Amino acid sequence: MLVHSRKAVGTLRPLDKKNSEFAVLYPRDKRIPILRIPAINWPNSFKNNPKQYEKILFVAKIIDWTVPNYALGVLTENLGLSGDLRVESISILREYCLDVTPFGPEVAEYLPKSNDIPQKELEYREDIREGMCVYNRSCNS
């Protein structure tokens, strides 16, 4: 029974030394249960060297969730080293299923032709261009 098909970002660890069938993915989002990941889905060297993957972020998809505290999942992507700005940015996009694909030409015709804001428009807007720090992060993943 599929209860939730959400994706999770987290770190992969062995379940225990005796269990060679499953590893566990500990999601960063505490609202998502720990995911059991079958051995067939592990990275090639994970079984022999799990320490190598302690700080690697993975994306996993929940495929079954019948036990409240554990769900069954599959790894869909190895994002890279936790703490790296690019990896962290991509992890947020993946976790919330945000698509950053640029709009196609069929959408461009509806966008403004100029980046200039007419004076008439500025008259009824609050101008925060000076005196305030406005931050924009462009992500090219």
Query: In the chain, how many H helices and how many E strands?
Result: 3, 5
Enter the pTM of the model: 0.72
**C-beta separation of 35 from 8 below 8 A:** yes
The stretch 118-140 carries a mean pLDDT of 74
Q: Which residues contact 66 (CB under 8 A, 6 or more apart)?
A: 1, 3
pLDDT tens digit sequence for 43-54: 999 988 999 999
List Cα–Cα distances, 52 to 43, 44, 121, in angstroms.
11, 11, 55
CATH architecture of the region 7-95: Beta Barrel (2.40)
Q: Which two tokens stand for residue 72?
A: 């069954």
CA pseudo-torsion sign 36, 37, 39, 40:
positive
| Cα 38 to the center of its chain, rounded Å | 21
The residue written with tokens 């994970």 in the block is 46
Instruction: Determine the pLDDT at residue 131.
Output: 73
Among the listed residues 19, 2, 29, 12, the one whose alpha carbon sits nearest the alpha carbon of residue 75: 12
Q: Residue 98 corresponds to which amino acid?
A: L
Confidence label for 141 from pLDDT (cuts 50, 70 and 90): very low
pLDDT tens digit sequence for 66-110: 888 889 999 999 999 999 999 999 999 998 888 888 888 888 888
Domain boundaries, the chain: 7-95
